[in-house]
Structure 1
């Protein structure tokens, strides 16, 4: 009798235990679930540092790199079909006619490299901000940091003798001031929520954009024309000094970007969970703001306030990798591809003599933002 009761109790308990185990199993978001029980990954070790990379992300990264190289060849070849693609590439090393070599080395190549560096920097900053706020709208062009950098750079260009280096310094300082203002406005009860940071940033961006417009109105005619083109986002006339500024800044910040991306992936689990795992949340926020604003400031100084790249590149990279953990390199490659491709498109458009690349990215960004809002609301 006792044995039958025990058997009956066990028959009633096991289904409940199975259901409980199923209810406690975490489910990945749709479209981002790993294939199989465990996603295949490659672990790279360099001394005490180890880096886990998903194999699909590696494949996507190589494909994006190949696409960027293809755009580079197309950009060098554009406008001179008689020289051929091979001749345009050889001109990089000085092989070809004097006119072709000068065009490639002094105009096309630095313009393309600046586009890659600016796109990669904006995408990296956007990835950091979106992880920090846990919001796909948390990009520097939406939450006011790009507007702060643009306002300070516009003031410097309009009223002072400017170079790419001094403009970069003013842009970084302006972005820092905007970031500090947004951070203090969003801070409440010793914490800074991601949604609150985004909302305060949107209001700050509107105010700082008005400041930039006022500077253009008050500037001299020649300065106003240059500022109008610059604030639209332009890569026209970019030289090697812009390449050194943007690539140099990105490489200098690389040792900080990799560990930041790893810690921010933990923060995406939630502030309490991250704190329980030893992450100092507020220190991580401040460090992320500083590093990302420097990237944004140098990008704005080189090409003006370009929209869409920081907003969309991280999300596109996540979609291609089918993972929420894409690190910093994949969004950067995606951003470099998007901006260099948009620049080539802007050179082919017959809208005036020089179509700003920011016009192309703004159109694409508006469509992307409408799609994102329609999907989530």
Structure 2
């Protein structure tokens, strides 16, 4: 027990630090800029919005403009962080993510197809969910072993992603040129014009996932020690992986449904968390908080940094993820030499 105490203290301290940064980012989102609500007026404004009694600036900013957008960013980021942690644990690959098995590409293709037939915000969300589910179904069928073999899942996912991406580009650039602007914003990942229906969707997904995440944490840690070790402790690795993949897809699909295919958060959040905590175990909760911080901070930048003004948040997270991975590769190369 004494050997575990430093790791637990480090994880607890990291969790408190991440939560403090999330709160600071949320406050900055709601208070900065000409449209921001002054910090002393924020508590009363939030209470009024919750009661449905807000008027004037507080109602516009907290109830319509920034409040729902912030809650969607936090929820989608948390879902992507937890989803990535699950997938990296299942594949035993710290650089894996749900995107590898075609979740984002399938969601984008579904959004493009349904959005072409029934062009509306609701249809695009529906299309993204159906597309993600279809992509995972194709991967499960293509592997011949369902969702229990990580390597086959990755290989099948590459093929499914390529086909989905090709279909999306065909729809956007050939069939639906007049709707390309709307679809392009969604397919890059965007938090613009989010509403309370989006908030309800993503937080309902998170609520459904909380208990399964808690129940999977210990079995996932045991499967990372090897199938034989897990089996000796009464854990069926194949069943644990299947549940983890399905839960990962649910979380990623929920995030894609409300914000589009946000790039790199599912990949980098769990990786950053493990490095900061210096842990080999899947840190599902901390990864979720890191994901919420990454996405909300990136969205804050798109609102307040002039050079990023109006940029879909998914493009910024793509740039951040690319820089992080580049720095990581350079660091590993220096260690190797």
* TM-score normalised according to structure 1 size: 0.79
Q: Distance in 2 between matches of 1:285 and 1:168?
A: 27
Q: Distance in 2 between matches of 1:291 and 1:82?
A: 37
Q: Distance in 2 between matches of 1:177 and 1:341?
A: 32
Q: Distance in 1 between matches of 2:182 and 2:35?
A: 31
Query: C-alpha displacement at 1:318, in angstroms?
Result: 1.1
- Are the equivalent residues in 2 in contact too, given 1:262–1:327 (CA < 8 A)? no
Matches within 5 A, 1:82-231: 84-94=38-48, 98-160=56-118, 162-164=120-122, 167-187=124-144, 193-231=149-187
Query: C-alpha displacement at 1:124, in angstroms?
Result: 0.6
Q: 2:26: which partner in 1?
A: 72
Matches within 5 A, 1:50-65: 54-65=8-19
Query: C-alpha displacement at 1:375, in angstroms?
Result: 4.9
| Structure number having the greater helix percentage | 2
Identify the range of structure 1 (252-261 vs 113-122) with the bigger mean alpha-carbon deviation: 252-261
Encode CA deviations 1:290-336: one digit per residue, 9 max, x unaligned. Answer: 21111111111111111111001001111222212253210000000
Equivalent pairs, count:
329
Tell which structure's C-alpha radius of gyration is larger.
1
| Structure number having the greater strand percentage | 1
Q: 2:3: which partner in 1?
A: 38
Q: Distance in 2 between matches of 1:85 and 1:206?
A: 47
Q: 1:8: which partner in 2?
A: none
Identify the range of structure 1 (239-248 vs 272-281) with the bigger mean alpha-carbon deviation: 272-281
Q: Distance in 2 between matches of 1:135 and 1:314?
A: 11
- Are the equivalent residues in 2 in contact too, given 1:317–1:326 (CA < 8 A)? no
Q: Which runs of 5+ in 1 are unaligned?
A: 1-35, 42-52
Q: In 2 relative to 1, CA 256–322 (structure 1 residues): closer, same or farther, beyond 3 Å?
A: same
Q: Which runs of 5+ in 2 are unaligned?
A: none
Is structure 2 residue 327 aligned with structure 1 residue 371?
yes
Runs ≥4 residues deviating over 6 A: none
Comparing both chains, which one has the higher relative contact order based on Cα–Cα distances under 8 Å and sequence gaps of 6 or more?
A: 2
Encode CA deviations 1:167-225: one digit per residue, 9 max, x unaligned. Answer: 4444333223222333444457x995434433432333222122211221245445321
RMSD over aligned Cα, in angstroms?
Answer: 2.6
- Are the equivalent residues in 1 in contact too, given 2:81–2:287 (CA < 8 A)? yes
